[in-house]
Chain A
Amino acid sequence: KAGVTQTPRYLIKTRGQQVTLSCSPISGHRSVSWYQQTPGQGLQFLFEYFSETQRNKGNFPGRFSGRQFSNSRSEMNVSTLELGDSALYLCASSLQVGASGELFFGEGSRLTVL
Chain B
Amino acid sequence: AQSVTQPDIHITVSEGASLELRCNYSYGATPYLFWYVQSPGQGLQLLLKYFSGDTLVQGIKGFEAEFKRSQSSFNLRKPSVHWSDAAEYFCAVGGPKLKTSYDKVIFGPGTSLSVIP
Residues of A that sit less than 8 Å from B by CB: 4, 33, 35, 42-43, 45, 48, 55-56, 58, 90, 92, 98-108
Contacts and interface: CB of A to CB of B under 8 A. Distances in A.
Interface residues of B, number: 26
A109 B110 CA distance: 19
Contacts of B106: 45, 99
A102 B46 contact: yes
Interface stretch (B16-24, B63-71, B77-85, B92-100): B92-100
Given A103-B44, A108-B43, A98 B107 contact: no
Contacts of A35: 107
Nearest to A99: B94
Nearest to A40: B109
A101 B110 CA distance: 20
24 contacts: A42-B108, A43-B90, A43-B110, A45-B104, A45-B106, A56-B100, A90-B44, A98-B94, A99-B32, A99-B94, A99-B95, A100-B32, A100-B94, A100-B98, A102-B34, A103-B34, A103-B44, A103-B105, A105-B43, A106-B43, A107-B41, A107-B42, A107-B43, A108-B43
A42 B110 contact: yes
B103 interface: yes
A90 B90 CA distance: 14
A32 B93 CA distance: 17
Contact of A100 (B44, B90, B95): B95
A98 B106 CA distance: 11
Contacts of A108: 43
Given A103-B46, A103-B105, A105-B36, 5 more contacts: A99-B93, A99-B106, A100-B94, A104-B46, A107-B42
B100 A43 contact: no
Given A42-B109, A100-B94, A102-B34, A58 B44 contact: no
A56 B104 contact: yes
